[in-house]
Amino acid sequence: MHTFAITSLLALIGLLVAERYGYFAQPSVPPWTSATPRLRQVALAFATYFGLQAIIVPALITVVLQLVVGKDALTPTLENPLTFAVGGLLAFSLTIPTLTLYGRKLGLEVWEKWPKSRTQRYKDLMLGVLSWFIAFPLVTVVALSLRGLIQHYFDLPEVDQEAVRLLKSADQPLALAILLPAFVVAGPICEELLFRGFIQAWLRKRVGPRAAIPIAALIFSAVHFSVRQGASNIELLTALFILGCFLSYLYERQGSLLAPIALHCVFNGISVAMILTGIQ
Give the end-to-end CA distance of the chain in Å, rounded to a whole number: 15
Write down the pLDDT at residue 122: 94
H-assigned helices in the chain: 2-20, 39-51, 57-69, 74-78, 81-105, 118-154, 162-169, 173-181, 187-192, 201-207, 209-222, 232-254, 258-276
Mean pLDDT, residues 247-268 = 95
**What is the DSSP code (8-state) at residue 107?**
T
Q: Where are the domains of the chain?
A: 34-276
- Which residues partner with 256 through β-bridges? 112
pLDDT-above-70 percentage for the chain: 95
Give SS3 for 256.
strand
Write down the pLDDT at residue 7: 86
Write down the pLDDT at residue 166: 75
Per-residue pLDDT at 219 exceeds 90: yes
Write down the pLDDT at residue 156: 66
pLDDT, tens only, 119-178:
999 999 999 999 999 999 999 999 888 888 877 777 666 666 777 777 777 777 888 888
Write down the pLDDT at residue 280: 65
Write down the pLDDT at residue 104: 87
Write down the pLDDT at residue 141: 93
Write down the pLDDT at residue 30: 72
pLDDT, tens only, 4-44:
788 888 889 999 999 998 999 877 667 777 778 899 999 99
Calculated CA dihedral for residues 241, 140, 179, 275, nearest 10 degrees: -160
Per-residue pLDDT at 51 exceeds 90: yes
CB-based contacts of 183, cutoff 8 Å, min separation 6: 163, 167, 268, 272
Write down the pLDDT at residue 157: 66
**Cβ(100)–Cβ(189) below 8 Å:** no
Vertex 88: Cα angle to 102 and 275 (nearest 5): 125
Which of 2-11, 52-61, 83-92 comes out lowest in average pLDDT?
Answer: 2-11
Write down the pLDDT at residue 21: 87
CA distance 233 to 159: 9
Cα of 71 vs its chain's centroid, Å: 35
Higher pLDDT, 180 or 278: 180
Mean pLDDT, residues 238-245 = 96
Write down the pLDDT at residue 124: 93
Give SS3 for 112.
strand
CB neighbour burial string for 58-80, b if at least 16 within 10 angstroms, e if fewer:
beebeeebeeeeeeeeeeebbee
Per-residue pLDDT at 80 exceeds 70: yes
